[in-house]
Structure 1
Amino acid sequence: MSGALRSLDARAEASRRAAGWRALALAAAAAALYLGPALLGGRVLSACVVLAIFAVMAYGLDLVLSDLGEVSLAHTVFFAAGAYAASMLATRAGWGGWATLLGALAAAALIAAFLGLITLRLREFVFSLVTYAAAVVAAAIAHNWEFLGGSDGIVGVPPLDLSVGPLRFAAGNDAELWPVAFALLLATLWLVARFRRSRLGTLAVMSHLNPRLATMSGVDVGRVRLAVLVLSAPVTGAAGWLYAYQRAYVGPDLFETYFLVLMLTAVVIIGRRLLFGPLLGTALILGQERFLSFGGDVDAIVLGGALIVVLAFFPGGLVGLWRAVMARAS
């Protein structure tokens, strides 16, 4: 009996040590990822700021597409809502960065709640059509409503100010924005990982894979879908918040199809429900655009073509393709 107890204690100790080494490895990787762009600076640092912002944008859609199995075409609205809320509160009300962040999160969540109450009782392509119609309507409003700046948008967004009491922090360029973008990305990764280990994450997958069984088990599938959509919207809205400060301008171009296709491609190209999938997918897309560009129109064709090829031939993404190749090789 004592031998069995010693064996259990040894296993527990080995597990604790392994967890400690994993945490140390993750901390070292995070430090390298942060310091690398900061040391290289210039074009690389600027690209990494945009990469972090767009990856956060994609993670919001990832929660709905990968966990709920719903294709939301309205996440550009949440992205734009975060950007517009931040820019308007900063330029017209003089709010600081923390207050505009709360405003951006609230704006995205409220719009998601409204759309969710309308659409999440619908299924499959009908849901996608309604969310796409919402994006079209939102784009038309942004183009024509002077309160939102109309077709000219909102210019002159001030530098991001995240000062707290005597601690002063302002970011007016990409080098100064990089710590904020990196922190936002880390917070998003933590949130997604916690969500997928949570009860809501489990219920979301159950509602996706077998909604009838979930209903028979006492799960309110409609409420689960609404909760996940409302959770996902502020994630994408937070990306819009930082993008407004990074560009110092917000306009109707945020509703362009490019942002939607980028999000969709980033989520599916590596593989769904992979924690680092959208980050790596975004890195592939922006790496091609920034460092192997063929020109604006050709890059758009490459991006759209990549989405079509993945969905048509490699629904499991590059990870699924790799697993299939290895299975055949063995």
Structure 2
Amino acid sequence: MPKSLPLSHLFLALALIGFFLVPYAWSDSRVIVGYCVLTAILAIMSYGVDMITSDLGEVSLGQALFLAAGTYGVGIGTTRLGLSPVATLALSIVVALALGAVLGFITLRVREFMFSLVTYCAAVVAHEVAYNLEFLGASEGILGIPSMELTLGPFSYVADTNLRLWPIVFLMLLLVLGLMALFRRSTLGAEALMSHLNPDLAESLGVNLRRTRLKVFLLSAPVTAVGGWLYAYQRNYVGPDVFEPYFIMLFLSAVILLGKRLLLGPLIGVALILFQERFLSLGGDGNKVFLGALLVVMLLALPRGALSLFRK
């Protein structure tokens, strides 16, 4: 007889099916549909941070570079080059990999605080470039990004609303979740975790720590870029606001809120944070203060996440 499905897998499947159906159950509510779409997009970006934070044990403050690779890839690709969504996705991933390679090589010899500082400085430099470079739209950004239109022969699908964009966003979320699950069961995932928990033991077993760090960095970059790619199509605009500290605070908070190395952790974390912003809002500045305070409290009081309260 075939083995029964583990309860954890059953819960995962039911949770994802339920999440997928929410926008259709409340299709008349633009707020709920928009909330689900944005939650999934930001969660995709968060999984790029999750790889580095949970598995590699580093805090990268430069993920905005890869987010920008996705958004500006769409902005330039559509308005300047006339590229299709598939082509802009490829462009975004290539740019993210190039940036990841450069930043990865720069940070090969640094760890912990210095790693965070170098990645933060890289994000600050990139923000200034985007804010002042006319080719990137400077401070005004790039306007007029068309809605995503996918064509296959005579068939065409235009994602001109959040509800029509939702199946594409959800599909990309599933692909990222699958990638995360495969990564954590792979040799690279095991080497990354070992280099984090016991680097001396990892080296004695033949693990090349620098090569492992670079590989994880290169794997995380396209994940965040895919989220940026979707984000650009979702709001039809690209600007230097993607470098705001809000995003990295949200990503880190989402990753650690429930606990590290949980497959649905970042998704649920983003959902809870955006729920507060959308339905229990304290105002624009108030929400940012709340998010910053949440991150500080989690790091100081519950570094292992909220679920650690229920573990023995």
- Where 2:260 maps in the other structure, the secondary structure is coil
What are the equivalent positions in structure 2 for 1:18-29 lying under 5 Å apart? 18-19=4-5, 26-29=12-15
Matched letter for residue 221 of structure 2: A
Q: In structure 1, what is the equivalent of residue 66 of structure 2?
A: 78
Shift of 1:22: 7.1
The alpha-carbon distance between structure 1 residues 278 and 28, as it changes in their structure 2 partners (threshold 3 A), is closer
In the TM superposition, what is the alpha-carbon distance from 1:30 to its structure 2 partner?
A: 3.1
Partner Cα distance (2:152, 2:57) in 1: 40
Which residue of 1 is the match for residue 127 of structure 2? 139
Q: Does 1:280 align with 2:268?
A: yes
Q: Note if 1:32 corresponds to 2:32.
A: no
Task: Return the letter of the residue paired with 2:4.
Answer: A
Does residue 160 of the first structure (1) align with residue 148 of the second (2)? yes
Q: SS in structure 1 opposite 2:179? A: helix
> Are residues 1:314 and 2:302 paired?
yes
The separation in 1 between residues aligned to 2:148 and 2:139, in whole angstroms, is: 24
1:177-256 matches, within 5 Å, as: 177-256=165-244
Instruction: Name the CA distance, whole Å, in 1 between partners of 2:6 and 2:202.
Output: 37
Indicate conservation of the 8 Å contact 2:23/2:163, yes or no.
no
1:103 to 91, 99, 106: 91
Could you tell me how far apart the structure 1 residues matched to 2:255 and 2:116 are? 16
Task: Find the aligned partners of 1:309 and 1:286 in 2 and give their Cα distance.
Answer: 18
Q: How many percent of aligned residue pairs carry the same amino acid?
A: 51
Q: Runs of 5+ in structure 2 lacking a partner?
A: none
Distance 1:299 1:82, change over 3 A: same
- Decide which of 10, 14, 17 is 2:3's aligned counterpart: 17
Instruction: Give me the whole-angstrom Cα distance separating, in 2, the residues matched to 1:190 and 1:257.
Output: 28
TM-score with structure 2 setting the length: 0.96
- Comparing 16-25 with 160-169, which one deviates more in the overlay? 16-25
TM-score (norm 1): 0.91
- Residue-by-residue CA offset, 1:150-192 (whole Å, 9 max, x unaligned): 0011000001012222331111111111111111111111110
Q: Please give the alpha-carbon distance, in whole angstroms, between the structure 2 residues aligned to 1:45 and 1:185.
A: 16
Which one has the bigger helix percentage? 1
Q: For 1:169, what is the secondary structure of its paired residue? A: strand
Distance 1:245 1:300 in 2: 24
Change (3 A) 1:21 1:313: closer
Aligned partners of 2:8, 2:155: CA distance in 1, in Å? 33
Letter of the aligned partner of 1:121 in structure 2?
R
Q: Secondary structure at the match of 1:156?
A: coil
**2:51 maps to 1:63:** yes
Structure 2 residue identity aligned to 1:73? L
Mind listing any 5+ residue stretches in structure 1 that lack a counterpart? 1-12
SS at match of 1:163: strand
For the pair 1:54 / 2:45, whether they are aligned, the reply is no
CA distance in 2, matches of 1:252, 1:194: 33
